[in-house]
Amino acid sequence: MKTLTYIFTILFLSVSFVSCSDDDDNTPVEVNPVEGLAMLYKVEAADHTVQFYSEKQNLEVGYNEIYIRIKDLAGNTYVSDAAPSWMPMMHMETMEHSAPHTSLNNTEESSVYKGHIVFQMPSNETEYWDLTLNYTLKGEAKQEVLRVTVAQPADGLKKTSVFTGSDDVRYILAYVNPKEPKVAVNDMQAVLYKMENMMSFPVVENYTITVDPRMPGMGNHGSPNNEDLVYMPSSKLYNGKLSLTMTGYWKINLKLLNANGEVLKGEDVTEANPESSLYFELEF
């Protein structure tokens, strides 16, 4: 009888062991959906918090991807039906204006909302940016206004250009990718907006941005196999190829052409003209 109990115990243990390991195989590994991102701001409300994340350590002049989560403190859960919308606003001494920005959309992880803002200028002691966030929580409309700090990029390199084209339209062009350039033909992306007025910055579609990277410190040599940036309706980004043949400082000379192929800004690089008036800078 004792032996029988022993055998049953063994059987029971092995069965529970098998079912345990079975469970392990089927239980999804819990992935932190904001892993690798920095929480830049956290707004504390009575029954919930709003968290702002970015890949960078602070908001910068130029293209910023921003992730937002809203935590319901009662249930200790993140809300996926908050339908947030936002409006960035700069309060200058003599006027106010907004900045190019997308809508906020649910990501693969439905409780994480994502969008981007292109800040055209940094904040300073007397002029500041704020973000107005509207969303719903348990059917109730909410609003938070968050004052944010926008700094110049720490590396001091130019990745954003605000200019008037030969068509007298004010444009904002910002570098997106490659975030980590390599000695290779890199996928390059940029965003292009026009300034309709102080508050409205529509995406510019179907223009072309030519790409001519040069190393001014090395006889202004260029690189082969670059591809002009063209508009992708699916992502609303401009996509092309950036060829970098060695590490160091590169000036990426650009020209902006409208849908008719007319040059709105920028010049060809020649012996007499070593750089375009429209460019990004890169160092890696």
Q: Does 218 bind Cu ion (CB under 5 A)?
A: yes
Instruction: Name the residue nearer to Cu ion (CB basis): 122 or 248.
Output: 248
Q: What CA–CA distance (Å, rounded) separates 84 from 114?
A: 10
Selection from 244, 237, 251, 241 nearest residue 181 by Cα: 244
| Subset of residues 28 to 87 that bind Cu ion, contact rule: CB under 5 A | none
Contact 191, 174 (CB under 8 A): yes
Contact 42, 54 (CB under 8 A): no
Tell me how far, at minimum, the Cβ of 279 lies from Cu ion, in Å. Answer: 17
Q: What CA–CA distance (Å, rounded) separates 142 from 39?
A: 21
**Which of 215, 227, 236, 249 is close enough to bind Cu ion by CB under 5 A?**
215
Contact 238, 256 (CB under 8 A): no
- Number of residues written out for the chain: 284
The alpha carbons of the chain give a radius of gyration, in whole angstroms, of 25
Q: Does 259 bind Cu ion (CB under 5 A)?
A: no
Instruction: Name the residue nearer to Cu ion (CB basis): 38 or 218.
Output: 218
* Selected range binding Cu ion among 79-87, 147-155, 208-216, 226-234, rule: CB under 5 A: 208-216
For 101, which DSSP code?
Answer: B
Q: What CA–CA distance (Å, rounded) separates 72 from 33?
A: 17
Instruction: Name the residue nearer to Cu ion (CB basis): 15 or 218.
Output: 218
Helices (H) and strands (E) in the chain, counts: 1, 21
Instruction: Name the residue nearer to Cu ion (CB basis): 7 or 218.
Output: 218
Instruction: Name the residue nearer to Cu ion (CB basis): 72 or 275.
Output: 275
Q: What are the phi and psi torsion angles at 273 (to 5°)?
A: -125, 95
Q: Does 216 bind Cu ion (CB under 5 A)?
A: no
Tell me how far, at minimum, the Cβ of 246 lies from Cu ion, in Å. Answer: 5
| Subset of residues 233 to 252 that bind Cu ion, contact rule: CB under 5 A | 246
Instruction: Name the residue nearer to Cu ion (CB basis): 39 or 246.
Output: 246
Tell me how far, at minimum, the Cβ of 57 lies from Cu ion, in Å. Answer: 30
Tell me how far, at minimum, the Cβ of 219 lies from Cu ion, in Å. Answer: 8
> Site for Cu ion (CB under 5 A): how many residues?
3
Residues at the site binding Cu ion, with contacts judged by CB under 5 A:
215, 218, 246
